[in-house]
Amino acid sequence: MSETVNIRNREAATPFALNAFIAIGSDDVVTLIVNKSEMGQGVYTSLPMLIAEELECDWSKVRVESASVGSVYNHTAFGLQMTGGSTSVSSEWERLRKAGAVVREMLVAAAAETWKVERESCRAEKGRVIHVSGQALTYGQLAAKAATMDPPKEVPLKEPSAFKVIGKPMHRLDNWEKVTGTALFGLDATTPGMLTAVVARAPVFGGKVKSFNAEKAKAVPGVQGVIPVEAGIAVVATNFWSANLGRRALEVLWDEGPLAKLSTAGMREEYANLAKTPGAVARKEGDPDAAFAKAAKQIHAEYEVPYLAHAMMEPLNCLVDLRPHSCEIWTGTQFQTADRDAAARVAGLKTQEVTLHTTFLGGGFGRRANPQSDFVVEAVQVAKEVKKPVKVVWTREDDIKGGYYRPMWYDRITAGLDPKNNLIAWQHTIVGQSILKGSPFEEGPTTDGIDGTSVEGAEDIPYEIPSVLVDLHSPTIGVPVQWWRSVGHSHTAFVVESFIDEVAHKAEQDPFGFRRKLLSGHPRHKGVLELAAQKAGWGTPLPSGRARGIALHESFGSFVAQVAEVSLDPPGKVRVHRVVCAVDCGRVVNPNTVEAQMESGIVYGLSAALYGAITFKDGRVEQSNFNNYPVLRMNEMPNVEVYIMPSQEQPGGVGEPGVPPIAPAVTNALFAITGKRIRRLPIRSEDLEKA
């Protein structure tokens, strides 16, 4: 581990901006401007590492600032300023190293000019430029002059063999703020004269206010106003608690709209019926009909997974200070450009009149990247009426009931084996809402009626099967849905990796060996599968009552295999003892982050596998808080071991790829214990009785 640095976002001397990402003060403090949102995944450390590698700065002098909104900070592939898709490192890999190299060259040029020597006689090292004679100037001493230098057009980047920072386990730069309570999250932001609002939203998605009586709400001390907005009725007060009490006292009559009778049971029936009919074809290979006709054995199963809430520890919130010609916003968002533009639209301002401050995010998991900018739009609507700075706060109940869930899915899947138990045919029908349909992002990734995020991880299975058909139904339901950490993979990995396990057992083969045999042309898949199996001691004896399950999945440019050791202890209660995780995410920037993200993904996926479900009855979400939407706790935490495959490949993602394999790894282990296949999540106790 590198030496501990205390970054403490200290006040630096007025820094000289050398480019959009780097500013250096006369006090030698190097401010690195990070254009990605820090939501736990470690970008405030890994992205500075990319810059520092080429800048040759003193790491102990680095501080981090979140970027303002500007096209210079747009995602290099997506053209918007945003954080998502596990792409922060891969998309900034070239740009930030170049940014560092360019500034290093400007500093060296400034020193050479100061000393009237050849540029080639100077070198940059740990925050100083040093001349062959031994004389040296610090970056702080050079910054003012360097800022006047022309940035070089072309800069060579280091060969990986010369890396000094990239690939080394580095401590997080945001540790100190986060252990002292000084890190500023959206909910902590304040501005003078600020009011606080909570919004009474319809109990059913698509519902509208019919009428309301504000009298009792207004009688609550501290309540300043009761204001209708698009989503419902905002109760505005001098403080959160008064707003909350005001909302409890508020009387609203709702027109519940077309979803007033929505129920999970009804939806499930509709989905199951749809799954029996052919959908839009996402992938067709070989001749599935003919292959099934000649199959000696057919294996068939139906799988289902529920809606899931993201349930970040910090519920949504957004502070807006709206003035006649300006709008200032503080919030933890993953979607700066979209949020700024939406705020400008609602406020009737030009986009350049909107300033958005990205705070730390108390978790994101996709919820804070809302294509409709729901929590920002609503806050600006409230601010427009209040005419004072106002922070809209979502309670935990608002958050759990607030929609934009991972969709519910229903899958029908069939495999065909030839007489020698070779897998020759695969047919997979998927039913579930598209998260892109009807959103501003419908155009790009949706082709021929197929939302790529609905079939990812299913249409691109790595197993070499001669005939494959994957088709999709995307019913319109009206429940707001959105990306949820690992997106489509959170569902498809469970189905595919459970079913391939079923097929292996029907083929009377070891689940690890069966997979391995089907991956001859997929070395990176095979590599992590073998590594996980070896480290987990696959095939070696375990204490009685314990079993292993294995799963493998590629997502976001990375390959992850996990082996879970599971028992039922006490009977009927799933206990995951150990998870061995092998990851190939290409070239690693901060191994410490990679490990942490695998641990994190496993816990997130395990919470969903064991407990996660948003269900509907009479149009209403039945869950409200952590008492009925439970998540994993300390006493349930398995020992997680992470093994990183050495790789020279382009960097892949790490924020999401740890999630998909854990549910099937656990349910495959449960099958090994009980002989009963778990085909629906979350795992229910009645599904754990022995077959």
Q: How many Å apart are CA 658 and CA 436, to the nearest integer?
A: 23
Closer residue to other proteins (CB): 277 or 628: 628
Q: Which helix (H) or strand (E) holds 553?
A: strand 546-555
Q: Does 221 bind other proteins (CB under 8 A)?
A: yes
Give, as ranges, the residues between 636 and 655 that touch other proteins (CB under 8 A): 637, 639-640
Q: Which of residues 115 and 626 has its CB atom nearest to other proteins in the complex?
A: 626
Nearest distance in Å: CB 8, other proteins: 8
Nearest CB to other proteins, comparing residues 16 and 360: 360
The reply to whether 181 sits near other proteins by the rule CB under 8 A is: yes
C-alpha dihedral, 197 to 198 to 199 to 204, nearest 10°: 170
- Residue 3 per-residue DSSP state: P
- Interface with other proteins includes 611 (CB under 8 A)? no
Binding mask 17-56 for other proteins (x = CB under 8 A): ---------------------xxxxx--------------
Nearer to other proteins, 345 or 578 (CB): 578
Of the residues 12, 34, 112, 187, which one makes contact with other proteins according to CB under 8 A: 187
Q: Which of 300, 282, 274 is nearest to 471 (CA)?
A: 282
Q: What is the C-alpha separation between 429 and 273, in angstroms, rounded?
A: 11
Q: Tell which residue, 636, 441, 665, has the closest CA to residue 553.
A: 665
Q: Which stretch binds other proteins (CB under 8 A): 153-161, 361-369, 411-419, 454-462?
A: 361-369
| Total residue length of the chain | 691
Decide: is 363 part of the binding site for other proteins (CB under 8 A).
yes
Contact, 17 vs 23, CB < 8 A? yes
Cα–Cα distance list, 425 to 288, 319, 508 (Å):
6, 54, 17
Binding flag, residue 365, other proteins (CB under 8 A): yes
Structure tokens at 288: 């599935």
Does position 14 interact with other proteins (CB under 8 A)? The reply is no
Instruction: Answer yes or no whether residue 2 interacts with other proteins by CB under 8 A.
Output: no
Give the nearer residue to other proteins in terms of CB position, either 128 or 406: 406
Among 95, 240, 345, 372, which residue sits at the site for other proteins (rule: CB under 8 A)? 240
Nearer of residues 40 and 664 to other proteins, judged by Cβ: 40
- CA pair distance 604, 396, nearest whole angstrom: 18
Give yes or no for residue 83 binding other proteins (CB under 8 A). Answer: no
Minimum CB–partner distance for residue 220 and other proteins (Å)? 10
To the nearest whole angstrom, how small is the minimum distance from the Cβ of residue 408 to other proteins?
Answer: 21
Select from 47, 108, 165, 312 the one that contacts other proteins (CB under 8 A).
Answer: 312
Does 167 participate in binding other proteins (rule CB under 8 A)?
Answer: no
Q: Please choose, out of 11-19, 89-97, 132-140, 624-632, the segment that lies near other proteins by the rule CB under 8 A.
A: 624-632
User: What's 10's DSSP letter?
Assistant: P
Residue 604 engages other proteins in binding (rule: CB under 8 A): yes
Torsion angles phi and psi, residue 643, rounded to 5:
-120, 125
Residue 136 touches other proteins, criterion: CB under 8 A? no
Residue 455 structure tokens: 């079939």
- What is the C-alpha separation between 185 and 361, in angstroms, rounded? 6
Which CB sits closer to other proteins, 475 or 630? 630
- Closest to 155 (Cα-Cα) out of 86, 114, 87, 105: 105
* Residue of the chain from 133, 135, 148, 190 that contacts other proteins (CB under 8 A): 190
By the rule CB under 8 A, 334 interacts with other proteins: no
237 lies in the binding site for other proteins (CB under 8 A): no
Q: Is 188 in the site for other proteins (CB under 8 A)?
A: yes
185 interacts with other proteins by CB under 8 A: yes
How many angstroms separate the CA atoms of 338 and 377, rounded?
10
Residue (of 54, 47, 42) closest to 32 by Cα position:
47
CA distances from 91 to 360, 487, 612 (A): 21, 19, 32
User: Least separation, in Å, of the C-beta of 245 and other proteins?
Assistant: 9
| Options 246, 601, 619, 652; binder of other proteins; rule CB under 8 A | 601
Q: What's the farthest any 2 CA atoms get from each other in the chain?
A: 84
DSSP reduced 3-state for 252: strand
* 364, 403, 557, 586: which one binds other proteins (CB under 8 A): 364
178 vs 173: CA distance, rounded Å: 10
Residue 60 binds other proteins (CB under 8 A): no
Is residue 175 a contact residue for other proteins (CB under 8 A)? Answer: yes
Torsion sign, CA atoms 585, 85, 662, 434: negative
Q: Starting from the edge strand earliest in sequence, which strands make up the sheet with 122-125, in order? A: 122-125, 128-131, 136-138
Other C-beta atoms within 10 Å of 99: how many? 24
From the list 136, 281, 631, 688, which residue makes contact with other proteins (rule: CB under 8 A)? 631
Question: Does 577 sit near other proteins (CB under 8 A)?
Answer: no
Compute the distance between CA of residue 448 and CA of residue 445 in angstroms, rounded to an integer: 10
Q: Classify 630 as helix, strand or coil.
A: coil
Residue 362 binds to other proteins (criterion: CB under 8 A): yes
Give yes or no for residue 133 binding other proteins (CB under 8 A).
no
Q: Extract the tokens encoding 73.
A: 């900070």
Quote the DSSP letter at residue 200.
Answer: E
* Helix (H) or strand (E) run with residue 596 in it: helix 591-610
Quote the CA–CA distance of 459 and 465 in Å, as a whole number.
12
Residue with tokens 């900018």: 373
Cβ of residue 314: shortest distance to other proteins, in angstroms?
5
Is there a contact between 528 and 515 (Cβ–Cβ < 8 Å)? no
- Residue 172 Cβ vs other proteins, minimum distance, rounded to whole Å: 5
Q: With binding defined as CB under 8 A, does residue 66 bind other proteins?
A: no
- Taking the least distance from each CB to other proteins, the nearer of 511 and 601 is 601
**Span interacting with other proteins, options 52-60, 141-149, 520-528, 632-640, rule CB under 8 A:** 632-640
Question: What are the CB-based long-range contacts (under 8 Å, 24+) for 219-225?
Answer: 219/249, 220/245, 220/246, 220/249, 222/246, 224/195, 224/386, 225/385, 225/386
Least distance CB 602 / other proteins (angstroms): 7
Among 634, 648, 686, 690, binds other proteins (CB under 8 A): 634
Q: Does 76 bind other proteins (CB under 8 A)?
A: no
- Residue selected from 625, 649, 674, 688 as contacting other proteins according to rule CB under 8 A: 625
Count residues near other proteins (CB under 8 A).
62
Residues forming contacts to other proteins in the complex (CB under 8 A) are: 4, 6, 38-42, 171-172, 174-185, 187-188, 190, 196, 221, 239-241, 311-315, 360-365, 395-396, 592, 596, 599-604, 607, 625-627, 631-635, 637, 639-640
